[in-house]
Amino acid sequence: MRIGVDGKYLPGGHNLSPVEKLEYAHSLGLEGVFFRTILHISPNLDRAEIQAVQRKAQELGMYLEAGLGRVNPYTNPETPELRAIGSGDVLLGFRRMMEAAAEAGIRELWVSTGGAKPYKGMFATDRFRTDVTWEEQLEATERLLLKLKPLAIDLGLHLNMETHEEITSYEIVRLIEAVGADVMGVVFDTANVMIRGEHPVLAARRLAPYVRQTHIKDAYLELTDGGVYQRAMPCKGEGAIDFCEVLKELNRYNPELTLSFEAQVPHGGRTPGEPMVIEVYDPQWIQGHPDLTREDLAAYYELARNYSERIRSGQAKGWRALNAERFEEEEAVQAVIASRRYLDGLCRELGIQREQAPSHV
C-alpha cells in the first residue's frame, strides 16, 4: 500500500500546478496524488501537459491517479466541463477523457453519482430530490455506465464509483453486478458511508473485493435530538473509524491499494461550522434506505453512541470546541503529516507491505 492525497484537498496546494502539487506532496512524505478528474491535470487534455505530470510522478516514485466525473445524467450538468470537453457531446467528452487517461497509463478512474449541495438535512445530497427519484437516477447511471463499458474494455480501464454522500455500498455493489466487475470498481471513502447510516467496517467488508482506489478520512459522530452529527476529521486515530479493521479488509483483497487522504482545508482560519445532521430518526430517511439491516443500524448507533460517550467524558472534543481551535494552513499541513504517520504506523503494526516514506519527513 502507498499513502498519498487527493489533490483537490491538498493543504497549501490550491494555486499550484499539477507538477508542483506532486513536488509539494512529495516534500510532505506522501507517495502519490489523486487528481479528481483528468481535466484537473490538463483542462484541454493536452497530451504534452499530461505526459509532463506523468513523468514527474515517475521521477519522484509517486502514484498518479485521476477520474472522469459524474456519471449520473441528472447531476453531470452541474459539471459542464464534462460536456464541453466533448464539444457538446457528453459521450464524446467521456471518450476523450478515457483515451487521454489510458495513453498516460492511468487505468483506475474515479466516478461519482453526485456532489454535495449547500442545503441542510436530506436535501444536502441528490438522494431525496423531488423532481426525480433516486431509483430513476440509479437506473440512468447504470445505462450510462453500460454505454461506457465497451470503451473501458477496449482501453483496459476501470471506472470506480465513489461511496459518495448520496449512494450506499449496497447500491454500488448492485451497479457493479449489473455493469461488470471487469470494468467497474469502487473508490472507498471511509467516512461517507456513515452519512448513509452504514458502519465503515461493515461497508469495507461488503466492498473490499471491488475497492481499487480510496478517499481516506476519519469522522466525528455525535447523537443529537435530530439524528446524528457528522463531520470529517483528519485520520490521526481521534475519530470514530477503526482503521485497523478497515485496512485489514482492504489489504486482504488488494495489497497494492493506494490510500489517498481527503484532507481538511482551512476555512477562514477555523474548521467548518455546524456538522451535517444525518436524520436517522426521520421516517422518510428510514424509508429511503431499504437495504439497511438491523445489524447495520445497530452497529451504526453503537458507533455514534460510543463516540458521544467519549465527548461527554472529555476523551474527545465536541464540535464547538473543535471550531474554536485555530486551523490555518500550518495546522492543515501538520494534520496531513500526522495522518500519514498514523496510517504508516498502522500498516507496520498489521504487517501490511508498503513503500517506505521519505526519511527526511
Sign of CA dihedral 78, 169, 243, 38: negative
DSSP letters along 327-347, please?
A: --HHHHHHHHHHHHHHHHHHH
Query: Which residues are 92's β-sheet partners?
Result: none
C-alpha cell at 84: 464541453
Give percent helix, percent strand, percent coil of the chain, each to the nearest 5. Answer: 45, 15, 35
pLDDT tens per residue across all 361 residues of the chain: 999 999 999 999 889 999 999 999 999 999 999 999 999 999 999 999 999 999 999 999 999 999 999 999 999 999 999 999 999 999 999 999 999 999 999 999 999 999 989 888 899 999 999 999 999 999 999 999 999 999 999 999 999 999 999 999 999 999 999 999 999 999 999 999 999 999 999 999 999 999 999 999 999 999 999 899 999 999 999 999 999 999 999 999 999 999 999 988 876 555 566 789 999 999 999 999 999 999 999 999 999 999 999 999 999 999 999 988 888 999 999 999 999 999 999 999 999 987 654 444 4
Distance spanning both ends of the chain, measured CA to CA: 18
Distances (CA, A) of 217 to 30, 40, 74, 232, 246: 15, 21, 27, 7, 12
Q: What is the pTM assigned to this prediction? A: 0.95
Cα 30 to Cα 109: distance, rounded to the nearest angstrom: 20
Could you give all domains of the chain from N- to C-terminal order, each with its CATH number?
Answer: 2-220+234-274+327-350 (3.20.20.150)
